[in-house]
Structure 1
Amino acid sequence: MVEKLFVSKLQNPLLTFAAVILTSAALVPVIAGNMMYAEAAPAVEICAFGTNNIVNGLTVHSGEKCTVDGYTLTNTAVFLIEASGTLKISETGTFDNAGGILSNSGSIRNEGTLYNGGGGAQIINQAAGTIQNEGSIWNGFITFGQDTIANFGTIKNKGIIYNGIVGNAIINFGTGTILNTGTIDNDAFFENLGLIKSRGTIENDGGGVFINSTTGVIENGGLIENDVSAIFNNLGTINNQGSIINCGSFSNTGTINGNPVEADCTG
């Protein structure tokens, strides 16, 4: 029926060129079974080292991937992931950003271990970047080294993100979004200027400082714990459909909607 209609309209001298284009576009689903499509070329693997390796910086270009599987890859300089580039760390893989800079505008998928430490180490997830964590990410886990994770893009956490040792920091900037269904464990400094949606656990341990700044929004459907000797300052907005338990210092000059903050330090 559609095909006959198309033919009859083509034979109509009053039919405009634009109408012909629209009508022929409608035919595409009918004849698509007879059409051939070129498949995208598979990503080019550039990290098939197989054994522990140290790189003095590396660029994963668009259409390339770096897979760390069964060994440790240590970066000591600038490791750059461009748009449409991919870094994958398998369950048996470890990426050690040892005082280097890991800058991501593409995709990082961590199923294993991602270390960021050694003094001045930085993970920068750019606005176009995505980090999906199903393993563990450790920031500043050994030294007082000013190690930083800066998020301008999207972090999806299903595993654990650990921010350890005073002097290290995780900052979620205004364009940043963190989707947490795992655990975020803060022993250092954590600041949110963007959006955090959590159905998992956010734990601010003793000695930790957590600041939800004036532009920050936290949508909590899970658990937020502020432990003894920990500091939690809310200057922004918290929409709390879960639980917030405070055993430390909790300051609120912003807005908390939903369930109130509880004081339960018996656990």
Structure 2
Amino acid sequence: MRRIRLVVAYDGTNYHGWQYQPNAVTIEEVLNKALTELLREPIAVIGASRTDAGVHARGNVAVFDTENRMAADKICLAVNQRLPEDIRVQSSGEVAPDWHPRKQRCVKTYEYKILNRRIEVPDKRLYTYHCYYDLDLEKMRRAASFIVGEHDFKSFCSAKTQVTDTVRTVYSLNVERDQEDVITIRITGSGFLYNMVRIIAGTLLWAGTGLIRPEEVAEILAAEDRRKAGPTAPAKGLTLIRMFYPDEMQEQAEKP
């Protein structure tokens, strides 16, 4: 038995998230079906990040076990021939039999995109949240500075979460605008709570429109109360960019 790791990119528009659901089409379900047909054995992938309905990804990670002897690095090419055009496996490779994508130390990067102009642009409608209010970029950056570091992010976590430990570390949080009026919120951290990035985006939108002072973000964190933070921004603006496993890089560096 071999364990294969995949790096998966997808447009989440037409899917009800990553995780299998009995009455809805999900990324996990489509991958399982394509891999099962390709390898001619039942395949069940384990995903690192169970993204919500409508959320996109460029670098989600998944593993599965197989008896098939197909070259690991060729599986991505072969399975892509069986996948719809809005899902593509970017790479595939063999890992240790006990390697689990949710049990490794991981650094995740997400981007949330906001189209900030008076009139929406049709070709950006699926991948950005349209905000027609003028957003003050400097206020958003100032608000973002209070997020960076290790904090209890209970205020930025959906009430639906079942985790008891809500302390997380945000390594960086940048806010930039391009020439097409798209504001990108790029956040990198040790892990994220349910809806945490989208709630942070909603709170930064509050700061950008002047509904709160940037300094109030510190008060929101201290309150540990979801009702104090901004709204959960729509899913379509969110993309999982990358999942990085630093322990693997250290192990490779230590090899003679």
Q: TM-score, normalised by structure 1?
A: 0.20
Q: TM-score, normalised by structure 2?
A: 0.21
Considering fraction of residues, name the structure with more strand: 1
